[in-house]
Amino acid sequence: MKELKKMFKSMVGGTTATIIFIMVSFALDQFMSAKISTGIALIIGAICNFFMQQKAFLNTTKSQGDHSWKFFVSEFFVLGSSQYGVGYLLDNKKDAEIYIEKRFKNIKKYEKYFNTFIRLFIAGLVFIFVSFPIRRYWVFAA
């Protein structure tokens, strides 16, 4: 039960950070390239996420040296994975659009949200396969 509670708190923190990431990147898309806005928004989201994950796993928001450096090392891999995934799909936008259009017929009317959709997709994959396992079993391991 404790593990589920930690996972739930981690998911809430991660979801909040993801919402911040999506909103900031969407706003910055209006002023700069999608890759740069993604990078800036990832950093802002990571800072917010640091405190939320500490609260989830350690029940405190006070910075602790050992956890801090581990978090930021892990965040390098998380942000790198996210930036790579989003960058890859942006570089292969036409192929991704063809793939998506085959599965979702009405997707064309949401084309202006393509960057947001791929950011959410990549964020979900990175959370499941990179972020949660690293944080749970290395950064905040008891």
Report the C-alpha dihedral over residues 110, 12, 74, 71, rounded to 10 degrees: 140
DSSP letter for 138, please: I
- Tell me the per-residue pLDDT of 39-87, one tens digit each, with 9 for 90 and over: 999 899 988 888 888 877 777 656 666 777 888 888 889 889 999 999 9
- In tens, the pLDDT along 30-44 reads 999 999 999 999 899
Q: How large is the average pLDDT for residues 136-140?
A: 81
Q: Is pLDDT above 60 for 132?
A: yes
The range of the structural domain enclosing residue 88 comes to 2-139
Q: How many domains does the chain have?
A: 1
Query: Which pLDDT score, from 0 to 100, does residue 131 have?
Result: 85
pLDDT at 116 over 80: yes
Contact between 69 and 56 under an 8 Å Cβ cutoff? The reply is: no
| Res 18: pLDDT | 86
* Contact assessment for residue 10 and residue 45, using Cβ atoms and an 8 Å cutoff: no
Checking 87-94 for CB contacts under 8 A at 24+ apart, the result is 87/35, 87/38, 89/118, 89/121, 89/122, 90/34, 90/35, 90/115, 90/118
Average pLDDT over residues 18-35: 93
Select from 124, 98, 122, 126 the least CA-distant residue to 111: 98
The pLDDT, as a whole number, for residue 61 is 57
